[in-house]
Amino acid sequence: MIVYFDFMRIKDDIKQEALFEATIKLVNETGFAASSVSKIAKQAGISPATIYIYHKNKEELLISTYIQIKKNIGSVIHENFDDSLPIRDILKNVWFKMFNYIAKHPDYFQYTEQFSNSPYQSLVDKREIEKYFDPVINVLLRGIEQKIIKNVNFDILTAFIFYPIVALSNARVCQDLDMNDENIETAFTLAWDAIKL
């Protein structure tokens, strides 16, 4: 293996990371409309011209930030993914990983939730997102095939096996609920009962 440092590349990565964080921070604090490219650039400590190297316009920057978060989630939930486990165990592992990720990055989730309720969501091709979730989607499909999971529309399955996590992780909505391991496990019982045949 040849290891070499590409300083331009590292510099680029740092800028990209700063831009990613700045976009999320500014949108969460002031909303999509008030988050101009120049304000995001200022927050990121880079020039607006640099943003335009990577992104055609503000819209494209907001969308790619959303896709990047989804890609991160997809990568985290599939860490040490063991396809040979029983389907219930695989889904339970994914369930816990999602909760842990949201607990670590509540700001990312605030961004994706705002995004999902904005007109920008219509500009995202669902397939583009789904590819990051292929392994877990394939597990659900296998479960349907093996008559372990209900054979219903995929959006309906998703509304019960992934979506409640978003609600339960929103401390503003669940003011009285501490999502400790015990509660995460209890909630998984409900999710599993919802989708299992």
Binding site for a second copy (CB under 8 A): 29-34, 110, 113-114, 116-117, 119, 121-122, 126, 150, 152-160, 163-164, 167-168, 170, 172-177, 183, 186-187, 189-191, 193-196
CB-nearer residue toward a second copy: 31 or 45: 31
**Tokens (6 digits) for 62:** 């907001």
CB-nearer residue toward a second copy: 44 or 62: 62
CB of 22 to a second copy, least distance (A): 16
CB-nearer residue toward a second copy: 14 or 177: 177
CB-nearer residue toward a second copy: 43 or 114: 114
CB of 14 to a second copy, least distance (A): 28
CB-nearer residue toward a second copy: 82 or 155: 155
Tell me the C-alpha distance between 67 and 53, whole Å: 18
What's the chain look like in SS3? CCCCCCHHHHHHHHHHHHHHHHHHHHHHHHHHHHCCHHHHHHHHCCCHHHHHHHCCCHHHHHHHHHHHHHHHHHHHHCCCCCCCCCHHHHHHHHHHHHHHHHHHCHHHHHHHHHHHCCHHHHHCCHHHHHHHHHHHHHHHHHHHHCCCECCCCHHHHHHHHCHHHHHHHCCCCCCCCCCCHHHHHHHHHHHHHHHEC
CB of 114 to a second copy, least distance (A): 5
CB of 189 to a second copy, least distance (A): 8
Q: In this structure, what are the phi and psi dihedrals at residue 196, rounded to the nearest 5 degrees? A: -75, 150
CB of 177 to a second copy, least distance (A): 4
